[in-house]
Chains A and B, each alone.
Chain A
Amino acid sequence: MLSKIRLGIVAELLTSEWVAFSELQRALDASQGNLGAHLAKLVDAGYIEETKTFVNRRPLTQYRLTSQGRAAFVAHVAQLQSLLKETS
């Protein structure tokens, strides 16, 4: 979760039941390839889940945060905050 875009993905998913790939791309202003690569890393880490369906014959890929991802996000933000405290 060290990468800014991966942290952004998890933050986007934090208050949502699920978010589509296109919506994440719009929200994070990321390129398709870059976003896809970061999403794959988060899926591999077990932080998010991917669901692929078809809507009106078009593929729809949705992502949701896992409980493991939520816990990792909380721990990561706490570490960021402690880092800021130490340096201030």
Chain B
Amino acid sequence: MEEQLNAAQARDHIEMVARILEESQQRLCAGGEFFVVWGLFGALVTLLGHFVAKGALPATSLWAALVALAGAIVFSIWRGRALRMASERRSLLQREFFNVLWITIGMAFVANLAVFNIFRGIASAAIWNFADAIVLLYIGLHGNRRAQVAGVVVVVSLVVANFTSGDVPAYVLAAGVLAGYCGFGIAELVSPD
């Protein structure tokens, strides 16, 4: 088929392909609302677990975490469907990102629900910070500077929590998720680019 094309046309076609592929190397950005919702959930779980462990709240308060979890899942599914329907293109990069997101969050669930004898107390809360940091740094790797900064904030919260004691680690971890994960989501919503 190619003998029908001359060199100038071939060059023109190659340049067009190169331009299209270059433009498709988009900055990875997912809906900010997901980060706000899951950041709030992460902070709530951390603080709730801490206050229950401390005796400041009854153990039955942990049901609030399950209600929040159900709410976050329902919101994510509903919003995810709406965004998918409204969008006109879904890149392979976005698909890969959602795979990373769900695997990471899923593993945090597994750690909380099935590995609680190993990840006890504040460790079960720290798992969420780890998961959030991985997600943010993954987005950051694809050129999103806010995500890079937010990921570092969450990582720093983990390190600071490690070197503090008493009530402080729980507050630091919750603050890390709020500032890093929620903060990133709010920044993306306020100013998408």
Contacts and interface: CB of A to CB of B under 8 A. Distances in A.
Interface of A: 1-2, 4, 7-8, 11-12, 14-20, 22-23, 27, 55-56, 60, 76-77, 79-81, 83-84, 87-88
Interface of B: 1-2, 4-5, 7, 9-14, 16-17, 20-21, 24-25, 85-95
A23 B92 CA distance: 16
B10 A83 contact: yes
B94 A17 contact: yes
A84 B21 contact: no
A7 B4 contact: no
A29 B86 CA distance: 21
B124 to A, nearest CB: 35
A4 B24 contact: no
A56 B81 CA distance: 12
A19 B89 contact: yes
A66 B4 CA distance: 25
A16 B89 contact: yes
Nearest to B16: A8
B88 A8 contact: no
Given A4-B13, A7-B13, A7-B17, A83 B7 contact: yes
Given A15-B24, A77-B14, A80-B10, A2 B1 contact: yes
Nearest to A64: B90
Contacts of B13: 4, 7, 80
B143 to A, nearest CB: 15
Contacts of A16: 24, 89-92
A11 B21 contact: yes
Nearest to B12: A4
A55 B87 CA distance: 11
Nearest to A23: B88
B89 A84 contact: no
Nearest to A86: B7
B89 A20 contact: yes
Nearest to A88: B7
B85 A79 contact: no
B81 to A, nearest CB: 10
B3 to A, nearest CB: 8
A4 B5 CA distance: 11
A80 B14 contact: yes
Contacts of A4: 9, 12-13, 16
Contacts of B7: 83-84, 87-88
